[in-house]
């Protein structure tokens, strides 16, 4: 079953969690970031290097060293790139994901990287978080690019609220509705009569994603505030500038319209119409 999208508002996407789960089991996020054998140290090192090369804003946003000696809950850990870096920095990490395939790879990664004793992996959904995770005073709840893929994001935020304590910080990333990526999808795929559906289907490397919501900055702030968090910062970042045919061959050739833009101008553009809206908040 594919997502059913309200064409009027583009904000009532519904799909069973099993469809979302099947999609990510079929191709876990970043699974093709290396040509090395999956599960080897060489594979994991290359996946991490490529992820942070293409998305260099992630380490600064996550601020891994700041959570040394603290409890971190990661919602939607995928194959564990950020998870491992929280643990390496000294955090005690609880990592949740809907995809069993992703979790199996992340568990192997933790063993290979020597941080398995710092990470508890849990199979579960953000929409039933209180049933899945230990209710303890987490210092940070972190979710990068996940909540917009669950059928009921507002329910997800309520679930997060249900396990927070005063002082718990939240860092989430959701996709930007007013971004270059959305315009690029519509220019290359058409679908102007069903913008939300077209964006959902082409939001990820593998087409056909069952659910993808996008937000304006105001909507992203409101989403986090609906969970009782005080928003302390909202920022936009990330435009993917590379030609896809070369990129899938592990070559980094920029498309012609980005090739001659000065780095400072490109960074300005990313902060205006980037694909990632990153929100920081705290529970008072």
Closest CA to 121 of 158, 90, 84: 84
In the three-class reduction of DSSP (H, G, I as helix; E, B as strand; rest coil), residue 261 is classed as: coil
229-237/276-283 β-pairing: antiparallel
In the three-class reduction of DSSP (H, G, I as helix; E, B as strand; rest coil), residue 97 is classed as: strand
All structural domains of the chain: 17-281 (3.40.50.150)
In the three-class reduction of DSSP (H, G, I as helix; E, B as strand; rest coil), residue 16 is classed as: coil
pLDDT at 246 over 80: yes
In the three-class reduction of DSSP (H, G, I as helix; E, B as strand; rest coil), residue 229 is classed as: strand
pTM > 0.85 = yes
Q: Across residues 213-233, what is the average pLDDT?
A: 97
pLDDT digits (tens, 9 = 90+) for 104-138: 999 999 999 999 999 999 999 999 998 989 999 99
92-97/119-123 β-pairing: parallel
pLDDT digits (tens, 9 = 90+) for 136-147: 999 999 999 999
């Amino acid at each position: 079953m594919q997502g059913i999208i309200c064409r009027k508002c583009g904000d009532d996407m519904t799909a069973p969690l099993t469809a979302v789960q099947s999609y990510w089991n079929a191709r876990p996020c970043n699974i093709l970031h290396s040509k090395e054998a999956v599960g080897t140290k060489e594979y994991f090192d290359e996946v991490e290097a490529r992820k942070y090369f293409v998305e260099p804003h992630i380490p600064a946003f996550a601020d891994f060293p700041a959570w040394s000696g603290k409890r971190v809950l990661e919602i939607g850990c995928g194959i564990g790139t950020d998870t491992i870096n929280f643990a390496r920095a000294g955090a005690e990490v609880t990592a949740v994901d809907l995809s069993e395939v992703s979790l199996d790879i992340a568990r192997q990664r933790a063993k290979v990287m020597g941080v398995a004793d710092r990470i508890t992996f849990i199979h579960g959904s953000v929409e039933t978080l209180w049933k899945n995770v230990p209710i303890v005073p987490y210092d940070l709840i972190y979710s990068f690019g996940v909540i917009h893929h669950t059928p009921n994001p507002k329910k997800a935020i309520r679930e997060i609220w249900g396990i927070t304590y005063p002082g718990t910080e939240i860092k989430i990333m959701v996709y930007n509705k007013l971004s270059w990526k959305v315009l690029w999808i519509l220019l290359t795929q058409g679908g102007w009569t069903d913008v939300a559906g077209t964006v959902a289907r082409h939001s990820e490397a593998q087409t056909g994603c069952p659910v993808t919501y996008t937000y304006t900055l105001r909507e992203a702030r409101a989403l986090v505030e609906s969970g009782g968090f005080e928003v302390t910062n909202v920022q936009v970042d990330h435009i993917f500038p590379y030609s896809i045919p070369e990129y899938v061959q592990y070559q980094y050739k920029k498309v012609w319209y980005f090739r001659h833009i000065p780095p400072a101008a490109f960074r300005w553009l990313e902060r205006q119409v980037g694909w990632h809206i990153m929100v920081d908040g705290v529970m008072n």
